[in-house]
Amino acid sequence: MFFRRDETRPPFRKRSGPAADLSFSEEQAVGGGMFTRRALLLLAVQTGVMGTLAHHLYEMQVVHGDELKEQARRNRTSRRQIAPARGEIYDRCGVLLAGNRPNWRALVMTEETTDLQAVVDRFATIVPLDERDRARIEHDRKHIRRYVPLTLKEFLSWDDVARLGLNAPTLPGVLIDVGTTREYPLKELLSHIIGYVAPPNEADVQRDGIMALPGMKVGRAGLEQTQESHLRGQPGTVEMEVNAHGRVMGELERVEGQPGSRLELTLDTVLQTRIKDRIGERVASAVVMDCRNGEVMGLVSTPSFDPTLFDGGISRTQWNSLLTDQRTPLVDKAVSGLYPPGSTFKPAVALAALRAHAITPSDRFSCPGYYDMGGVRFHCWSRYGHGSINLHQALKYSCDVYFYQVARRCGMESIHEAAAILGLDGALPIELPHVRSGSVPTPEMRRRHGHHWNGGDTVNAGIGQGLVQTTPLALATYVSRLATGRIVQPHLLRSVSGREIVPTPEPLPFAREALAAARGGMFAVVNEPQGTAPAARLNLPGVQMAGKTGSAQVRNVPRALRESGHFNSMNLPWQYRPHALFICFAPYDNPRYAVSVVVEHGNAGATEAAPLAAQIMTDTLIRDPASRTSLSRGVVARADGLDD
């Protein structure tokens, strides 16, 4: 090794001898000791740092590895719940009554955008938003939880979807989603029964946070409302990949929700269509029941409405138009319309009197055309009276005076009890909302409500007028029970997700002879000479029907006008004419079906409601597979077309 000489120092002289060797060894020893301590200190620092790093790496990769991995995944993904498909509804023959169709909609993940208003404004330049859309978006922004997607626009066209796809980089947090919207193929035909769905309100969301999900709907009427728990289903989930700017890059995983239950109804839509065609432009309602088990096969109320109007939110103009229509299209008259039953109530009065042993079928009462009580004259519909008649004749002629006297003899309490057994008083357990209860009051019930009861109230109740009110559904239930002698309950559900509903009706607490007397009088109404409903006879070989007419006044007629002989209710304005009613069952010797018809302001049950009921019963019997073998070949040939 060579060293450059330092001129400022004296020349190096090599020491010799023992002293020189000892001095050099000491310097080496001192330098080596300092190097060793520094190396050890540095090694210790390095070991500590590496140990700390190793510990942190162990914690990150082993102890907290799964947690950090999930956090990293969440930073690049967005998970949300998706609304399930609503359960479908079918009729007894498998015809779809309420289903679902695809609905393309634009959503925005509010968590993925820093300026929601700017995104909405930018979106509106691509897909126009009207005032209702903007008001809804502003409302949802304030009330919906931030992690729930906010709906910008529903029912997008393919052009809308394409434009949004091209402008996706400028719409952070916006994504296109496909959901479902409710579809009612038969529209007005079943709107009162099926009902409709609408977007949830704030109360719905507070009760169940799932209702805030885009695409969720709530049943607002009919079976959609009462069967909400069956039809709603369980939500699914979808996981999407997003970039640092919140733009959705793609869908990673989708788990579809559990759809709602499938409902099968007792209704026959072919028969339902036929009934509606039979009614035509009348303001009316009709109910067809299988009187053996209570299955409602037809339930029509006219006029009706289109339920699809409510799916996306109905406009105020449309809503006001429906509300102000004097024909009340939003009201299901078959279950919510209350009417005096008129003379259709007389078989119930007869059963009440027979059950109370107040009369026998052979007891006779005289009808001179009127009945005087307490200075008040109560008229029979026949000015000339019916003479001395028994129960069979009184039902056949529909004599008012006979039933005035029977009602007074048996008392209102007995009439109320029999009417309740027959389904005319109180609520019926059918699967529909807003079902109104029939009312057959008693003196004690009236007194509890602060009203006076007099003998005239009992007399009027004897012919189904005054304070007695009922619904077409209750009338059909009443005649079904009378025909079969069993307490059948009306129902619309036949099965839920394949689970069948099988009712077991109990016997009526009436004597067999009493039921036979009431049925015999109803048979005479249709089939015997001078009966009030010859127009209701069936034109089917070997099939006979029993029925009862009714005309229910909606206003009082002055005594002088009635006794003048010049009164004709057909000359009154439409809204003041009596309601026309008819109830019936067939075949008479083996009852299978019951029908009730109410034509609002139809004037006379014999001329307006009875022929209509006969047509409906004929259609029902022809639709019945069990009856086709007993009908002639010519009649059976018409079964599919249901032609006259």
State whether the Cα torsion 513-516-522-528 is positive or negative: negative
Is it true that the peptide bond before 507 is cis, omega within 30 degrees of 0?
no
Which member of 336, 343, 414, 551 is catalytic?
343
Active site residue 315: no
Beta strands in 458-608 (DSSP E): 486-487, 493-496, 499-500, 506-507, 546-552, 579-586, 593-599
Quote the CA–CA distance of 586 and 590 in Å, as a whole number. Answer: 7
State in Å, rounded, how far the first CA of the chain is from the last one: 131
Task: Report the SS3 class of residue 324.
Answer: helix
How crowded is residue 104: how many other Cβ atoms within 10 Å of its Cβ? Answer: 17
DSSP H or E run through 236: strand 236-242
Cα dihedral 566/572/578/584 (nearest 10) = 80
Quote the CA–CA distance of 174 and 113 in Å, as a whole number. Answer: 9
- Is 364 exposed, middle or buried, given 0-12, 13-18 or 19+ CB atoms closer than 10 A? middle
What is the β-pairing status of strands 263-265 and 89-90?
parallel
**Pair 189, 272: CB distance under 8 Å:** yes
**Got the DSSP string for 75-104?**
HHEEEEEEPPPPPPEE-TTS-EEEEEEEEE
Quote the CA–CA distance of 602 and 280 in Å, as a whole number. Answer: 13
The residues carrying an active-site annotation are: 343
